[in-house]
Amino acid sequence: MSRNKFPPKPRYDPDTGPVYLYGLHTVRAALENPRREKRNLLVTPNALARLGEDGTAVKMKYTETTPKELDRLLGADAVHQGVALEVEPVSRFGLADLHEPRLVVILDQLTDPHNVGAILRTACAFGADAVVTTARHSPRETGVMAKAASGALDLVPMIEVRNLGDAIEKLKERGLTIVGFDSEAPAPVRPRTDDTPLAIVLGAEGKGLRQRTRELCDEVVRLDMPGPIKSLNVSNAAAIALFAATAGRAAQ
């Protein structure tokens, strides 16, 4: 029997240790983000060449490494593509930093970094102005989240709020219609035909929207699914919600 029965554990704890971003798209976006504080770039010669293929300039000092060393650092499950960047967590914005927002995604205590990262990527693709998360019951920035976001972590402002209800009230005061998604909602989602500024609210995995959040929504809708599976991963639901929310804008 092989002595290497289990893959090596990462050298650091991603929940408490330094933040390592990895993967070409993710690291490229971080390098091009002037607000991102970068500490150390670890890169293989091949990955360094691939980083520069689209004109990305590596303006910081870097350390050449090997895929095996990156596996040892990040863990065998990390799809690093030969590059890892140690960074400070991305700067969080405040609601006051948003200038005339027209599309905001609100996450009501989502905890899975894969889902948050995937929603960031979708929000970026649909032109969202920001993603709002709660200070408690939301994941720390990790390489897993950043990899799932595929660069969007450095492209879409993330706003962390202490009181989600107060944040929703402030967005309503600024003219946004708040649309919550809940599997028990009486009305099905329909593609919008106008250009009303919107905030899309998505509930936590398994729990859905909290009661107070639901009460603050101007509309609560559900996703109708005629097939035998009646639920979707929240990141898939986010893609449908954002498509429906922006359908009218695309037609203009």
Q: What share of the chain is helix, strand, coil (3-state, %, to 5)?
A: 35, 20, 45
pLDDT digits (tens, 9 = 90+) for 48-82: 999 888 777 788 899 999 999 999 999 888 899 99
- Farthest-apart Cα atoms in the chain, separation: 65
Assigned token pair, 51:
């980083």
Per-residue pLDDT averaged across 159-163, rounded?
Answer: 93
Q: State how far the Cα of 23 lies from the Cα of 47, in Å rounded to an integer.
A: 9
Instruction: Give the global pTM.
Output: 0.83
Question: In 10 A of CB 224, how many CB atoms?
Answer: 10
Is 246's pLDDT higher than 80?
yes
For the chain, list the domains and their CATH numbers: 19-87 (3.30.1330), 95-251 (3.40.1280.10)
Is 199's pLDDT higher than 70?
yes
Q: End-to-end distance of the chain based on CA atoms, in angstroms?
A: 64
pLDDT digits (tens, 9 = 90+) for 98-151: 999 999 999 999 989 999 999 999 999 999 999 999 988 888 888 889 989 988
Assigned token pair, 221:
């809708």
CA neighbor of 23 nearest in space, from 44, 37, 4: 44
Mean pLDDT over each residue of the chain, to the nearest integer: 87
Per-residue pLDDT averaged across 219-241, rounded?
Answer: 85
